[in-house]
């Protein structure tokens, strides 16, 4: 049986908790409906509220799974199209995970190279492991165009002005301190060549990223909403002077 690449489930612990709490709420609402005095409006309001919360949590978990399995693949192609990759670039994926954007970019290269870095935290992405990323690259037929290493985005092991394109998808928000997030953004700018393109996709801290990139002199900044990712995300693109 032919193997297919697997790019993981985003925030698996969050999805698990949403399902568990949602099912608990639904079970509680059913129990209340069976045992309380339904002639009292206060009980009906409480039952309805618990039921709605349960349904909302379960639906949120389902939407997140859909996003991880299907939506993010469609959005990847849309975003990479906007970067107008020619084929000879040196591309860096910051927080590459299991290689969704790393491999997507590599498939558009002819004699270029796609480099990925990560610290491989499984709580952020199921199966987040260097070997799984390499296996995905092999299955997608781009293993010769890809290299990956373990590195912190706040202190990248690359020279200044190394990459033609630097992108980061759902990674920077995992740094909880604003000052530390700005270090990561500074590193992205540092390793990007003058005239090079950057692209940051995330669902948190968007205004913060935009303000910082503007202060650092990034030109032609453009933001747009993704359509098939949940939670809803924003992509930011721009060019280094």
92: domain CATH number is 3.40.50.150
Express each pLDDT in 127-173 by its tens digit: 678 999 999 999 999 999 999 999 999 999 999 999 999 999 999 99
Q: Quick check: is 5 in a domain?
A: no
Q: Are residues 113 and 173 in the same domain?
A: yes
Structural domain range at position 60 = 12-67
Domain count of the fold of the chain: 2
Task: Please provide the average confidence, as pLDDT, over all residues in the chain.
Answer: 94
User: How far apart are alpha carbons 189 and 126 in whole angstroms?
Assistant: 29
Question: Any idea how long the chain is?
Answer: 241
Could you tell me what percent of the chain has a pLDDT over 70? 98
Same domain, 61 and 80: no
The pTM for the full model equals 0.89
Whether residue 96 is contained in a domain is answered as yes
Same domain, 51 and 81: no
100 and 137 part of one domain: yes
Predicted confidence at residue 40, as pLDDT, reads 86
178, part of any domain: yes
Q: Are residues 173 and 135 in the same domain?
A: yes
Higher pLDDT pick, 194 / 121:
194
**Does residue 201 sit in the same domain as residue 221?**
yes
What is the average per-residue pLDDT within 219-226? Answer: 96
Instruction: Answer whether residue 113 is part of any domain.
Output: yes
Query: pLDDT, tens digit, for every residue of 87-133?
Result: 999 999 999 999 999 999 999 999 999 999 999 887 777 767 899 99
* pLDDT on residue 1: 53
Statement to judge: residues 84 and 43 lie in one domain: no
What pLDDT, in 10s, does the model give residues 54-82?
A: 999 999 999 999 999 999 999 999 999 99
31 and 104 assigned to the same domain = no
Instruction: Classify residue 223: in a domain, yes or no.
Output: yes
Residue 61 domain flag:
yes
A 10 A CB-CB count for 34 gives 9
How high is the pLDDT of residue 235? 97
- pLDDT on residue 71: 93
Q: Is residue 1 domain-resident?
A: no
Is residue 77 included in any domain, yes or no?
A: yes
* Cα 237 from chain centroid (whole Å): 15
Same domain, 137 and 176: yes
pLDDT of residue 112: 97
User: Are 55 and 84 part of one and the same domain?
Assistant: no
Residue 205 shares a structural domain with residue 169: yes
Distance of CA 158 to the CA centre of its chain: 23
Q: Are residues 97 and 37 in the same domain?
A: no
């Amino acid at each position: 049986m032919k193997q297919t690449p697997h790019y993981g489930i985003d925030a698996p612990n969050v999805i698990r908790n949403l399902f568990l709490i949602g099912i608990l709420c639904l079970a509680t609402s059913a129990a209340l409906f069976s045992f309380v005095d339904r002639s009292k409006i206060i009980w009906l309001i409480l039952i309805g509220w618990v039921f709605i919360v349960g349904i909302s949590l379960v639906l949120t978990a389902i939407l997140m799974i859909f996003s991880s399995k299907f939506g993010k693949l469609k959005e990847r192609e849309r975003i990479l199209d906007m970067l107008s990759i020619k084929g000879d670039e040196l591309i860096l994926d910051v927080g590459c995970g299991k290689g969704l954007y790393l491999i997507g970019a590599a498939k558009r290269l002819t004699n270029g190279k796609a480099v990925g870095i990560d610290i491989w935290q499984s709580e952020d992405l199921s199966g987040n492991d260097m070997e799984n990323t390499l296996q995905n690259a092999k299955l997608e037929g781009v293993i010769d165009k890809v290299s990956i290493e373990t590195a912190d985005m706040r202190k990248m092991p690359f020279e200044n002005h190394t990459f033609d394109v630097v992108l980061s998808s759902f990674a920077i928000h995992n740094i909880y301190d604003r000052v530390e997030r700005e270090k990561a953004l500074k590193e992205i700018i540092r390793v990007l060549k003058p005239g090079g393109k950057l692209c940051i996709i995330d669902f948190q801290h968007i205004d913060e990223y935009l303000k910082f990139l503007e202060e650092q002199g990034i030109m032609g900044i453009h933001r747009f909403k993704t359509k098939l990712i949940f939670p809803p995300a924003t992509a930011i693109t721009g060019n280094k002077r």
